[in-house]
């Protein structure tokens, strides 16, 4: 198969869909890989490395979209890219459609086959292609939040880890999944006071086993969330409902209770955010202030560390891509229900129920869709 890798064009998005090593693997399987000129440059991968791995270099994204059978990206297609997607072309990338009506409509209209990294599952119901970027975003959330707490960033002027004889800040992490766990790794390492809120008692017990008395576990239905939010110097939103819009757990009224100069990092912004006052921002202009609270809502946080992120992402996505290219999408998805869960839009039909429900589209099961 012909596999195309365009340069990412979302603002401040520096990752790329495939590393040279991944290209080498695909070429060894008999596939042709086309990479856009300097597509990997900002992630530290040169054209020469791709050529040495067996790829061809294309001068433009248009050349890739015109020629490739599979498009491999990192972030959701931007409007100019959606307009280039061809009927029956396979698009393999993060999509986050539940928070993107215009994109959903564009993919439906294109009659393409769209597989979302973030809804592929494993046998335990986890999300193996989302996990690596959730881990990066979770770790970055505390790093970014600590920076935003500095006075010159309009924060409280507080060092999250404190100083000898000075107590550190309070971090409240909403969600004990991959984002929350990795946020806790950094926050506890900084010696902050760390609360993790999750609805699952079993998950909280797992986190206590990992972190011991370095965290304070909080079961969501047994706490006063208003009070906890008001105590936070840094609030990290790491709530996820797979493929669906994130629930708004923190309301505008709760924001008003927070301390002047405290910080919110809403990692769930890709799925609409879990804070009522959240709106997407970019690495170039990452923050804004509502009710004296600094909001950091960068929708592609791992794009800020593109080399680490690209390598981590490829570790997870490549085995599925090899299967997709070797077997064709109908066989690859039909024989693997976990991979099939990634199919979101297929030839004009929405095949992920949460997306169909939020936008009022007729839902077609992926099992039925791939028969056609």
Domain ranges in the chain are: 2-119+306-369, 131-299
| Pairing mode of beta strands 170-174, 234-237 | parallel
Query: To which residue do tokens 């007729």 refer?
Result: 362
Whether 2-119+306-369 shares its CATH topology with 131-299 is answered yes
With CA atoms as reference, report the closest residue to 238 among 288, 311, 289, 187.
Answer: 187
pLDDT for residue 254: 97
* pLDDT at residue number 273: 95
Give pLDDT tens digits for 291-349.
Answer: 999 999 999 899 999 999 999 999 999 999 999 999 999 999 999 999 999 999 999 99
Residue 218 pairs in a beta bridge with 197
Q: Identify the architecture of domain 131-299 in CATH.
A: 3-Layer(aba) Sandwich (3.40)
- Tokens 């599925």 belong to 320
Active centre residues (catalytic): 96, 270
d(CA 45, CA 60): 17
Q: What angle do CA 287, 314, 99 make, to 5 degrees?
A: 40
DSSP for 75-104, please give it: SPPPHHHHTTPPTT-EEEE---GGG-HHHH
* Assigned CATH for 2-119+306-369: 3.40.50.720
DSSP state letter for 275 = B
Sheet holding 287-290, edge to edge: 215-219, 193-198, 170-174, 234-237, 263-266, 293-296, 287-290
Report DSSP state, residue 155. S
Residue-wise pLDDT tens for the chain (372 aa)?
999 999 999 988 999 999 999 999 999 999 999 999 999 999 999 999 999 999 999 999 999 999 999 999 999 999 999 999 999 999 999 999 998 999 999 999 999 999 999 999 999 989 999 999 999 999 999 999 999 999 999 999 999 999 999 999 999 999 999 999 999 999 999 999 999 999 999 999 999 999 999 999 999 999 999 999 999 999 999 998 888 889 999 999 999 999 999 999 999 998 899 999 999 999 999 999 999 999 999 998 999 999 999 999 999 999 999 999 999 999 999 999 999 999 999 999 999 999 999 999 999 999 999 998
- E-state strands within the chain: 2-5, 32-36, 56-58, 70-72, 90-93, 113-116, 170-174, 193-198, 215-219, 234-237, 263-266, 287-290, 293-296, 343-346, 349-350
DSSP conformational letter for 298: B
Predicted pLDDT of residue 244: 82
Return the pLDDT at 240: 86
**Is there a contact between 87 and 30 (Cβ–Cβ < 8 Å)?**
no
Query: Length of the chain in residues, anyone?
Result: 372
């Amino acid at each position: 198969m012909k596999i195309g890798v365009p340069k990412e064009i979302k603002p401040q998005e520096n990752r790329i869909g495939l590393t040279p090593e991944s290209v080498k693997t695909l070429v060894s399987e008999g596939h042709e890989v086309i990479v856009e000129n300097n597509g990997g440059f900002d992630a530290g991968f040169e054209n020469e490395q791709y050529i040495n791995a067996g790829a061809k270099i294309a001068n433009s994204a248009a050349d890739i979209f015109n020629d490739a059978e599979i498009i491999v990206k990192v972030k959701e297609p931007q409007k100019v890219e959606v307009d280039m997607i061809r009927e029956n072309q396979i698009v393999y990338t993060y999509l986050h459609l539940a928070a993107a009506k215009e994109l959903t409509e564009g993919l439906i209209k294109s009659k393409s086959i769209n597989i979302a990294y973030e809804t592929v599952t494993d046998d335990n119901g986890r999300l193996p292609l989302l996990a690596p970027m959730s881990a990066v975003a979770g770790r970055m959330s505390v790093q970014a939040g600590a920076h935003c707490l500095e006075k010159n960033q309009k924060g409280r002027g507080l060092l999250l880890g404190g100083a000898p004889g000075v107590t550190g800040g309070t971090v409240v992490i909403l969600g004990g999944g991959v984002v929350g766990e990795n946020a806790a790794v950094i926050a506890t390492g900084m010696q902050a006071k760390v609360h993790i809120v999750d609805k699952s008692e079993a998950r909280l017990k797992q986190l206590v086993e990992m972190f011991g008395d370095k965290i304070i576990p909080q079961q969501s239905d047994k706490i006063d969330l208003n009070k906890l939010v008001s105590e936070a110097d840094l609030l990290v939103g790491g709530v996820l409902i797979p493929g669906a819009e994130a629930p708004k757990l923190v309301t505008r009224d709760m924001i008003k209770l927070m301390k002047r100069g405290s910080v919110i990092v809403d990692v769930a912004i890709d799925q609409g955010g879990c804070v009522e006052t959240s709106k997407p921002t970019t690495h170039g202009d990452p923050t804004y202030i509502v009710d004296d609270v600094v909001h950091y809502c960068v929708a592609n946080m791992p794009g800020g560390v593109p080399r680490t992120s690209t390598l981590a992402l490829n570790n997870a996505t490549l085995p599925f891509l090899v299967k997709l290219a070797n077997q064709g999408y109908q066989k690859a998805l039909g024989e693997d229900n976990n991979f099939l869960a990634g199919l979101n839009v297929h030839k004009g039909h929405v095949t992920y129920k949460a997306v169909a429900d939020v936008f009022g589209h007729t839902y077609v099961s992926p099992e039925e869709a791939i028969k056609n």
